[in-house]
Amino acid sequence: MPEFFNVVAPDQAFQLLKKHLPVNIGQETVDTVDSLGRVTANDITSPEDLPAFARSTMDGFSVRARDTFGASEGMPAYIEVIGEVLMGQATSLTLATGQAAVAYTGGMLAGDADAVVMIERTQRVDDKTIEVLRPVAPGENVVQIGEDVRQGDQVLPQGHVIRPQDIGGMLALGLQSVQMARRPRVAIVSTGDELVTPDKKPGPGQIRDINTFTIAGLVTNCGGIPVPIAMVEDDFEAQKTAAVEAMDKGDIVVFSAGSSVSNRDMTASVFESLDGSKIFAHGISIRPGKPTIIGLAKDKPLIGLPGNPVSAMVVFDLTVRPAIYHMSGCVNSPTLPTSKATLTRDIPSQAGKEDYVQMRLSEKNGILQAEPVFGKSNLIYTLVHADGVVRIPLEKGGLYAGEEVSVRIY
Amino acid sequence: MPEFFNVVAPDQAFQLLKKHLPVNIGQETVDTVDSLGRVTANDITSPEDLPAFARSTMDGFSVRARDTFGASEGMPAYIEVIGEVLMGQATSLTLATGQAAVAYTGGMLAGDADAVVMIERTQRVDDKTIEVLRPVAPGENVVQIGEDVRQGDQVLPQGHVIRPQDIGGMLALGLQSVQMARRPRVAIVSTGDELVTPDKKPGPGQIRDINTFTIAGLVTNCGGIPVPIAMVEDDFEAQKTAAVEAMDKGDIVVFSAGSSVSNRDMTASVFESLDGSKIFAHGISIRPGKPTIIGLAKDKPLIGLPGNPVSAMVVFDLTVRPAIYHMSGCVNSPTLPTSKATLTRDIPSQAGKEDYVQMRLSEKNGILQAEPVFGKSNLIYTLVHADGVVRIPLEKGGLYAGEEVSVRIY
The CATH number that applies at residue A167 is 3.90.105.10
- Bond preceding residue B51 cis, omega within 30 of 0: yes
Same domain, B241 and B110: no
Same domain, B226 and B170: no
Query: Counting one residue from A and one from B, how many pairs have CB atoms under 8 Å apart?
Result: 269
Average pLDDT over chain A reads 96
Across the range A244-260, mean pLDDT stands at: 97
Q: Which residues of B touch A149 (CB under 8 A)?
A: 381
Q: Which of B57, B153, B171 to mutate to test the interface with A (most CBs of A within 10 A)?
A: B171
CATH number of the structural domain spanning residue A128:
2.170.190.11
Same domain, B202 and B312: yes
B211: in domain: yes
Question: Does the beta-carbon distance from B214 to A379 stay under 8 Å?
Answer: no
Q: Which of A84, A117, A143 finishes a domain?
A: A143
Same domain, B254 and B270: yes
Query: Helix, strand, coil: what percent of chain B each, to 5?
Result: 20, 35, 45
Domain range enclosing A244: 10-26+182-327
Same domain, B68 and B106: yes
- Cα separation, B253 vs A194, in Å, equals 51
A115: in domain: yes
Chain A residue whose CA is closest to B121: A1
Q: Which of B31, B359, B380 to mutate to test the interface with A (most CBs of A within 10 A)?
A: B380
Same domain, A243 and A189: yes
Same domain, A287 and A342: no
Interface of B with A in 174-213 (CB under 8 A): 174, 176, 192-195, 198-199, 201-208, 210-211, 213
Q: Total domain count for chain B?
A: 4
Among A15, A6, A10, A5, residue whose Cα is nearest residue A281? A6
- Residue B200 has a pLDDT of 96
pLDDT (tens place) for every residue of chain B, 410 residues total: 467 779 999 999 999 999 999 888 999 999 999 999 999 999 999 999 999 999 999 999 999 999 999 999 999 999 999 999 999 998 999 999 999 999 999 999 999 999 999 999 999 999 999 999 999 999 999 999 999 999 999 999 999 999 999 999 999 999 999 999 999 999 999 999 999 999 999 999 999 999 999 999 999 999 999 999 999 999 999 999 999 999 999 999 999 999 998 888 999 999 999 999 999 999 999 999 999 999 999 999 999 999 999 999 999 999 999 999 999 999 999 999 999 999 999 999 988 899 999 999 999 999 999 999 988 888 999 999 999 999 999 889 899 999 999 999 99
Rg of chain A in Å (alpha carbons): 31
DSSP letters of A68-113? GTT--SSSPEEEEEEEE--TTS----B--TTEEEEE-TTPBPPBT-
Q: Which residues of B touch A89 (CB under 8 A)?
A: 193, 204-205
Same domain, B289 and B358: no
Nearest to A164 among B169, B214, B376 (CB): B214
A279: in domain: yes
Same domain, A299 and A359: no
CATH number of the structural domain spanning residue B348:
2.40.340.10
Q: Does A306 touch chain B (CB under 8 A)?
A: no
Same domain, A236 and A191: yes
Q: Does A146 touch chain B (CB under 8 A)?
A: no
Same domain, A189 and A174: no
* Alpha-carbon distances, residue A318 vs A240, B9, B318 (angstroms): 25, 43, 35
- Cα separation, A154 vs A175, in Å, equals 13
Interface of A with B in 232-261 (CB under 8 A): 233-234, 260
- For residue A122, pLDDT over 80 is answered with yes
B361: in domain: yes
A304: in domain: yes
**Looking at beta carbons, which pairs linking A273-280 to residues 24 or more positions away fall under 8 Å?**
A273/A240, A273/A243, A274/A243, A274/A244, A274/A247, A274/A302, A277/A302, A279/A6, A280/A6, A280/A8, A280/A16, A280/A17
Q: Which of A263, A295, A327 finishes a domain?
A: A327
- For residue A148, pLDDT over 90 is answered with yes
pTM, two decimal places: 0.96
A295: in domain: yes
Q: Which of A265, A296, A327 finishes a domain?
A: A327
CATH number of the structural domain spanning residue B320:
3.40.980.10
- Residue A1 has a pLDDT of 47
Q: Does B85 touch chain A (CB under 8 A)?
A: yes
A2: in domain: no
Same domain, A285 and A319: yes
Q: Which of A384, A404, A406 to mutate to test the interface with B (most CBs of B within 10 A)?
A: A384
- Residue A350 has a pLDDT of 83
- Residue A263 has a pLDDT of 85
- Residue A2 has a pLDDT of 63
A5: in domain: no
pLDDT, one tens digit per residue, over A291-303 is 999 999 999 999 9
